[in-house]
Amino acid sequence: MATEKEKIITTSDVHLFYGKTEALKGISLDFNKNEITALIGPSGCGKSTYLRTLNRMNDLIPNVTITGTVKLGTQNIYAPDTDVVELRKDVGMVFQQPLPFPFSIYDNVIYGLRLAGVKDRQVLDQAVETSLKQAAVWDDVKDKLHESALSLSGGQQQRVCIARVLAAKPKVILMDEPTSALDPISTAKIENMLLELRDDYTIILVTHSMHQASRISDRTAFFLQGELIEADATKKIFMDPSKKQTEDYITGRFG
């Protein structure tokens, strides 16, 4: 008998309005621990908006109204007593464009730890090495940790950004099209790394690439015009989707 997987994030009836425009129309979707979930759908369907509701990044946008429930474990992340800084440590985010700070590679990785007041050089050195190794970029940068992160290639910068998120020891990593600005070799490195990270982290990934979703994700959720059409095991979504809209999208009939 298959055992039920542990859920780490549960969302229920999430609506989001930008001013009067409803961008999310009642999304209920859960995420299993130690899985990669891909969010797919045509441009403007609300994937990034939904991703940002999972660590309250939409709080930074004016005139946004959100209703419904988002829980990390048992904690309602929209409860008034939520510490948003702590939340964003637990639920880290990697963006489409690599955005290293204009500091050294070392200082980029330990940015969150420094903010948290960690000063012990040995602890910081260890965190830098472990995170850069996990992000599969250690061999590229180990001899130039004190050079600017901006001197690296786009693919290396993105892996340093992932190391920065990993150094904060998140439970969940949100990724908004993390490889769309990268060449195929850098993309393959990041995809392989994500498959390794899955043992220790839960990853939620917005992607425009069906190939990427089918290569690396365990589950796939298909969004259309602010609605969740269906979410299921990735194999099921790609081989035998339940809804016609999903089939039309994955077979390239629209989008």
Ligand X SMILES: Nc1ncnc2c1ncn2[C@@H]1O[C@H](COP(=O)(O)OP(=O)(O)OP(=O)(O)O)[C@@H](O)[C@H]1O
* Closest approach of ligand X to the CB of residue 46, in Å: 4
Does 178 bind ligand X (CB under 6 A)? Our answer is: no
Q: Which helix (H) or strand (E) segment is 93 a member of?
A: strand 91-94
Pick the stretch among 37-45, 73-81, 114-122, 151-159 that binds ligand X (CB under 6 A): 37-45
Distance CA 32, CA 53 (A): 17
What's the number of CA atoms in the CB half-sphere (13 Å) around residue 45?
Answer: 23
Does 78 bind ligand X (CB under 6 A)? Our answer is: no
Among 37, 48, 186, 245, the residue binding ligand X under the rule CB under 6 A is: 48
Distance CA 63, CA 27 (A): 20
* Residue 65, strand partner residues: 17
Pick the stretch among 39-47, 71-79, 180-188, 213-221 that binds ligand X (CB under 6 A): 39-47
User: In whole angstroms, how large is the CA radius of gyration of the chain?
Assistant: 18
* Closest approach of ligand X to the CB of residue 74, in Å: 27
Sign of the Cα torsion 203, 208, 210, 211 reads negative
* Closest approach of ligand X to the CB of residue 41, in Å: 6
* Closest approach of ligand X to the CB of residue 18, in Å: 3
The footprint of ligand X on this chain (CB under 6 A) covers a number of residues equal to: 11
For 243, other C-beta atoms within 10 Å of its C-beta total: 14
* Closest approach of ligand X to the CB of residue 99, in Å: 16
**Looking at beta carbons only, is 57 or 161 nearer to ligand X?**
57
- Measuring CA to CA, which residue among 80, 129, 139 is closest to residue 109? 129
Pick the stretch among 36-44, 103-111, 163-171, 181-189 that binds ligand X (CB under 6 A): 36-44
* Closest approach of ligand X to the CB of residue 111, in Å: 25
Does 3 bind ligand X (CB under 6 A)? Our answer is: no
Among 47, 88, 164, 219, the residue binding ligand X under the rule CB under 6 A is: 47
**Looking at beta carbons only, is 108 or 207 nearer to ligand X?**
207
Strand 36-40 and strand 64-72: pairing? unpaired
| Neighbour-count burial for 13-47, b at 16+ CB within 10 Å, e otherwise | ebbbeeeeeebbeebebebbeebbbbbbbeeebbb
Which residues contribute to the site for ligand X (CB under 6 A)? 18, 23, 41, 43-49, 61
